[in-house]
Homo-oligomer: A and B are copies of this chain.
Amino acid sequence: MTETVPVVLCGGNGTRLWPRSRKQKPKPFLPLVGDSTLFAATVLRCEREAGFGHPVIVTGAAHLEHVEDQIPDRANTRIIVEPQGRNTAAAIALAALTLPEDAVMLVCPSDHHIGDCDAFRAAAHEAASLASAGWLVSFGIAPTAPETGFGYLKQGEPIAGTGGRRVEKFVEKPDLARAMEFLSSGQYAWNGGIFAFRVGTFLEELGRYRPDILSTVREAVEKGVADGMRFLPDAEAFARVPSESVDYAVMENTERAAMIPAVMAWSDIGNWQALHEALECDEAGNAVRGNAELRDCSNVMVMSDGPRVSVVGASNLVIVVDGDEVLVCTPDGAQAVGKLTGAANQ
């Protein structure tokens, strides 16, 4: 078996984590949970010492500077610079077309937090092994709440001799009632957007279901230019690539969909409330980053990049101070942060 190549996708913008996450420096490049940024932590989870190959990063020109600043081993990291964002099917195809056919890609979003790194690595190696055998493997994140913001995987038959299962079906974001059914049934997992694919198999299946995506990405790669460790796909060709997620383009269609169950303290840090839940809190549920004083508070998260934040008597609240912006939201309100004028008009 050849080595597993981490393919790290840096595409998200994280407007629901405004004002800390901003267009100029979005979510993946911020140290939201620990001292590392989400991006750097993603790359470090797949380091060579843990049995992974040198990583490939797929990012846009806007974030290239952050990527190159934060790469742990810049000399050995290839960076594919997308001329524009064309969603995950194209991003993964870009990486695939620059790798050997029998390599296994471990596709990782760069803006998630995984609390249990060992569990992630164990699942990754198991997923890679399934992928080598020709499966297109999703990580099935064990659900801990009836989340309506994620897609779900319904588990199918076990795949003999492995820890994996077939995926019976992919389910788009459900409403709350269905999400609660999914959770109680024990048969569903969250689709966390982490995948293991053998390069050849992925390209075969992409060609089968979305030959238009494959052919345009191939053209962009063939006309592309290498620049040291950077690879620049051809902008004109890439502009013609249909924008589609890998879930829609491949996973929901293929007969070879499998899943590896993963219990690894995963969070997509999808909003401020999710970040609060991922942080270590004191016994009252409060979490503070920066200069703050809390009196008679519970379940309050404060993040400040400078000004002192003094809070008295509050419960269930997120307070973020960043530059010239102050955000205060409740857990329910956290979902709507991206709709604020400040977040929308960056």
Contact surface of A with B, Cβ cutoff 8 Å: 19, 293, 295-296, 304, 306-314, 317, 319, 321, 323-334, 336-337, 339-343
Q: Are B333 and A295 in contact (CB under 8 A)?
A: yes
Closest B residue to A343 by CB, please name it.
B310
Please indicate the chain B residues that have their CB under 8 angstroms from the CB of A308 in the complex. 324-326, 342
Q: Would A329 and B307 count as touching, CB distance under 8 A?
A: no
Q: Which residue of the partner chain, among B309, B311, B313, B341, contacts A332 with CB atoms under 8 Å?
A: B313
Q: Which of B304, B314, B325 contacts A310 (CB 8 A)?
A: B325
Tell me if A319 and B328 are in contact (CB < 8 A). Answer: yes
Give the top 3 A-B pairs by smallest Cβ distance, nearest first.
Answer: A313-B333, A312-B333, A313-B330
CA of A278 to CA of B300, assembled, Å = 28
Among B306, B312, B342, which residue has its beta carbon within 8 angstroms of that of A334?
A: B312
Give every chain B residue within 8 A of A340 (Cβ-Cβ).
Answer: 293, 295, 310, 312
Contacts of A333 in B (CB 8 A): 295-296, 311-314
Could you show 6 A-B contacts with beta carbons less than 8 Å apart?
A: A307-B325, A308-B324, A309-B327, A310-B337, A310-B340, A313-B333
Shortest beta-carbon distance from A178 to chain B in Å = 24
* Nearest CB of B to A321, in Å: 6
B336 and A296 form a contact (CB under 8 A): yes
The docked-state distance in angstroms from the alpha carbon of A340 to that of B310 is 7
Is chain A's binding surface mostly helix, strand, loop or mixed? mixed
CA distance A304 to B326 in the complex (A): 10
**Residues of chain B lying within 8 A (CB to CB) of residue A19:** 310
Residues of B with C-beta under 8 A to A314: 317, 328-330, 333
- A296 CB contacts on chain B under 8 angstroms: 333, 336
Once the chains bind, are B295 and A307 in contact (CB under 8 Å)? no
Question: Could you say which residues of chain B place their CB within 8 Å of the CB of A317?
Answer: 314, 317, 328
Please indicate which of the listed interface residues A304, A312, A323, A324 has the most CB atoms of chain B within 10 Å of its own CB. A312
Q: Pick the residue among B304, B311, B327, B331 that contacts A329 (CB under 8 A).
A: B311
Q: How far is the CB of A154 from chain B (nearest CB, A)?
A: 33
For residue A91, give the distance in angstroms from its CB to the closest CB of chain B: 31
Closest-CB distance, A312 to chain B (whole angstroms): 3
The chain B residue with its CB closest to the CB of A313 is B333
CB-nearest residue of chain B to A330? B313
A317 to B313, CA, bound (A): 10
Among A323, A328, A333, chain B packs the most CB atoms within 10 A around the CB of A328
Chain B: which residue is nearest A331 at the CB level?
Answer: B313
Contacts of A341 in B (CB 8 A): 293, 310
Additional A-B contacts beyond A308-B324, A312-B334, A314-B328 (12; CB < 8 A) = A293-B342, A296-B333, A307-B325, A310-B327, A310-B329, A310-B342, A312-B340, A313-B330, A313-B336, A314-B330, A319-B326, A321-B326
Report the bound CA distance from A336 to B293 in whole Å. 13
**In the complex, chain B residues whose CB is within 8 Å of the CB of A336:** 295-296, 312-313
